[in-house]
Amino acid sequence: MSQAKKTIIGSSVLVITKVLMRMIGLISTLVLARVLIPEDFGLVALSLLVLKFFDLLALTGAKQYIIQLETITEQDVNTAWTLNLLLRLVVVVLIVLLGPFVSEHFGDERLTSVLVALAGLIILDSLCNPGMMLYERDQNYVPIFRLSLVQKVLTVIVTISCALIFKNYWALIIGHLFSNSIKLIGSYVMHDHRPRFCITNIKQQWDFSKWMMSKGVIGYARSQLDTFLVSSNFSVAIVGNYHIMKYISSMPSSEIIIPATEPLLAAFSKSRNNSHQMSFRYRLCLLAIITIAIPVSSFMFVYHENIVMLLLGEQWIKYSEVFGILSLLVISGAIGSVASQALVAKNKIKYLFYYDVLSLIVMAIALLSFSGVTISQFASIRVAVDLVLLSCLFMYTSLWVINISLWKIISLILPGVISSLLSLYLISLIGYSSAYAFMELLIYGLCFFLLYSLFSILFYAVILKNTPEWDFVIEMKNSVLTYTQKKISVIQR
């Protein structure tokens, strides 16, 4: 099997995994949004924001380090696990010691106990079997899929049960802790590797990890700066609303785009010394990701009220505009993810760090320059700045690192944009309305994605005709048809 096909199949498995996880998670969201109040979500969101920042102080990039190595030994795996464990234990101590000061800063004494409880997430995660990283290195995602499915199903059951019993934010906390516990246990069931304390190659990994750690802290500060400023300038209830809208609007990125790009690091790393092969894989992945991101983001932006009404209920509808605005981050996240994976594979991590520092400064200046704005205006500023910054990173990577022509970039993106706009215009002429939010959203959604599929195939067939990308698409189509025909023949027998 070619590396390109292996990458596409790996991406498909991860996407299917995440989609199934999200479908299960939607059940949890529908229940929790009706049982808990926005203040509960706001308190946990604020705690996770602080927790994640401290956790990033120990981000070694162990998975990325293991995946990008050309050859690997058991000592490499154990050293990565050891370094990660030691640094995270230090972080847990810091969280426990600084918890009261964080609570005092935000004026909510409940944060102290919540932070101490959630610090267990870091311990549980650091003890997980590093053998799971070897599955990702080999692009074997079936065991990861199985573990994720069990983890998600059990977590949803426990979280909903706790919400119905306690009816407060502790249900969310227990759910998070239970989820990481299942992940820990499952990792040792799924892989026979048993980690041991080892510092044999710690210097070699630290040379890689120091940039990942610095990039992680700055990158997270940039991505969560908006949530921090919202928590400082708006009520806890609005923080909860903003967090939920941001969380739901990011689902396509977190559950489809990011999983789809995870196999790229392994694929890119194998072709880092072959510029032609690297360029082809980069273009192919960009084509696959952008044809998903553009229609999903544009549909969410236009039909934000219908989506929020269906998922969360009428009590959340006044913040649906925020959801629509934040959904545009799906596009910037897509191009940013592809560019970031390519830069890591090219060992240009320090360039990503420089980008994160610069973008953090620009984002902070932009958001702090506007005072007294509404939450919707705040979200608009945040999205506009992010789109500009990530577009710059993407263009730098595409034009100067991967050496793709500007016309090639346009030919890969423009058909998706035109197809989305044309489809949105045509379905706006339908004028269908229903008392049931689900039916209305279903009709518009089906019409939109059918039209988008038709237009995008036509446009790409014309623009990409006689190109390696289109030849690969046809080859994949033929492979799928052949496989399907074989399965049908077996069933008929």
Give me the mean pLDDT over the 408-430 stretch: 94
Assess whether pLDDT exceeds 70 at residue 420: yes
Predicted confidence at residue 462, as pLDDT, reads 92
What does the block give as tokens for 438? 């689900």
pLDDT category, 30, cuts 50, 70, 90? low
Q: What is the mean pLDDT of residues 444-462?
A: 94
Rg (the chain; Cα; Å) = 23
For 316-474, strand residue ranges (E) read none
On average, the pLDDT of the chain sits at: 82
| Residue keyed to tokens 């949530």 | 227
pLDDT of residue 184: 94
Give the HSE-up count for residue 240: Cα atoms under 13 Å, Cβ half-sphere: 19
Mean pLDDT along residues 230-246: 80
What pLDDT, on the 0 to 100 scale, is given for residue 304?
A: 93
Q: Burial, 364: exposed, middle or buried (Cβ in 10 Å; 0-12, 13-18, 19+)?
A: middle
User: What single-letter amino acid sits at 33?
Assistant: A
Instruction: Please report, rounded to a whole number, the percentage of residues in the chain having pLDDT higher than 70.
Output: 83
pLDDT of residue 340: 86
pLDDT the model gives residue 493: 60
192 backbone φψ class: left, alpha, beta (φ>0; ψ -120 to 50): alpha
End-to-end alpha-carbon separation of the chain, Å? 28
pLDDT at 2 over 60: no
Q: 88 Cβ partners below 8 Å, 6+ apart?
A: 55, 58, 122, 123, 125, 126
283, 469 in Cβ contact below 8 A?
Answer: yes
Residue 436: what are its φ and ψ, rounded to 5°? -105, 120
Mean per-residue pLDDT for 416-441? Answer: 88
**Nearest-angstrom CA–CA distance, 455 and 461:** 10
pLDDT band for 53, please (50, 70, 90 cuts): confident
As given in the structure block, the two tokens for residue 211 are 């940039």
- Whole-angstrom CA distances from 216 to 58, 197, 360, 411, 448 are 9, 25, 12, 33, 37
Query: Is residue 455 within 8 Å of 446, Cβ to Cβ?
Result: no
CB 367 within 8 A of CB 226: yes
More confident residue, 238 or 6: 238
Structure tokens at 20: 């199934």
Please state, in angstroms and rounded to a whole number, the distance separating the CA atoms of residues 193 and 187.
9
Asked if residue 231 has pLDDT above 90, the reply is no
Q: Please report, as a single letter, which amino acid is at residue 120.
A: G
Whole-number pLDDT of residue 146: 83
State the pTM of this model: 0.69
What is the Cα–Cα distance from 334 to 413, expressed in whole angstroms? Answer: 12
- Cα separation values, 215 from 36, 344, 412, Å: 35, 11, 29
Alpha-carbon span 343 to 345, nearest angstrom: 5
Between 81 and 141, the higher pLDDT residue: 81
